[in-house]
A = this chain, B = another copy of it.
Amino acid sequence: MPEPRPTVAVVGASGIVGREAVQILEERGVPRENLRLYGSTRSAGRRVRYGEAEIEIRHVDTIGNDHHDFALLCADADVAHTIRTALHDMDTVLIDNSSAYRMDPSVPLVVPEINGNLLTTTTRLIANPNCSTIMMLAAIEPLRRALGVNGITATTYQAVSGAGAAGLEELIDQTAAVTAGESRTPTVFPVSCGWNVFEHESARDPETGFSGEESKMVAESRRIWNDPGLNVLPTCVRVPVERAHAQSLNVDLDEPTTVGDVRALLEDAPWVRVWPEGRLLTPRDAAGHDEVFVGRVRMDPASDGRRVLLWVCCDQVRKGAALNAVQIMEEMLETASC
């Protein structure tokens, strides 16, 4: 992390993304005295391990009492709006993981590897995209740069931890139920996630039938790639997996290519890990890692080399959320020091 060391607030520090953000900041060597953690009434007062020491979670209502260079908002859209108002005159850079500002044209929506150039020394609010959008675009970005992309069909296999710690607890509980031959009413997901798969639980658009998650993937991809006419056709599905999403991506290219060239382009991107041919890539392989993993690469035989099929796995808590936010902060610091 470049000097001078910034002061950082993590809001929602006891949530699954907030906890991951704290861990990444520790890995990055942010000193304990530069970090302040905030949470709701429920989590305020709890202590979080940080290196050899502990940090107490403060109540989020007190965030305006101190100055922070950055605030990583790992909570919902309501909290994001509240914090923005509270810190309005504090010159804090807000990096928001919620959907509150993602479609606000005055707020950059950033995946650093793709459009980090949008960040300037005067940027004070940045939106972090949805996890499914981040992993999809990060995996395809090397192909877009070299070959052009005009369409994506995305079918997802999304981990329950995308719904937070409660989703994970429900997986444990529903798995115990189904293996015991019992039935228990779920509370986080609309149907049981034990040995079952189902459409993403976000509300369907009554007109198009697309879920909220799917609509985000369409709208956010167009914004991030600055390509309002981009065809994105997503189908989002939850699977009984703890952590890390998988996606089957069929990518329509402007220029024809080959499997070998696609693998070479992906291998040149430092944020992509290309899985060895002949080994099966699973979400479990990607869990806990920073990179977007790309497994099997195939060509649609009917496409004359213009449609490539990718199997992508990514830790959606990490690169899909907390890590991307920290990377935005790092990009801002570099911009400021240039």
Contact = CB atoms under 8 A, between A and B. Distances in A.
A151 B278 CA distance: 28
Interface string A269-307: 000000000101111100000000001111111100001
Given A171-B195, A179-B176, A237 B233 contact: no
Interface string A306-335: 010101000000000000000000000000
Contacts of A190: 280
Nearest to A159: B195
Contacts of A281: 198-199
A199 B237 contact: no
Contact of A240 (B231, B240, B278): B240
A124 B300 CA distance: 37
A235 B248 contact: yes
Given A179-B172, A179-B175, A191-B282, A296 B199 contact: yes
A271 to B, nearest CB: 23
A12 to B, nearest CB: 25
Contacts of A171: 195
Interface residues of A, number: 51
A184 B69 CA distance: 47
A241 interface: yes
Contact of A284 (B153, B196, B231, B311): B196
Interface of A: 151, 153, 155, 157, 171-172, 175-176, 178-179, 190-192, 195-199, 204, 208-210, 231, 233, 235, 237, 239-242, 246, 248, 250, 259, 278, 280-284, 295-302, 307, 309, 311
Q: Which 7 pairs across A and B sit closest by C-beta, in order of nearness?
A: A155-B155, A209-B298, A235-B248, A198-B282, A231-B302, A157-B197, A155-B248
Given A155-B248, A175-B175, 16 more contacts: A151-B302, A155-B235, A157-B239, A171-B195, A191-B282, A195-B241, A197-B239, A197-B246, A198-B280, A199-B296, A199-B311, A210-B298, A233-B250, A233-B309, A237-B246, A239-B240
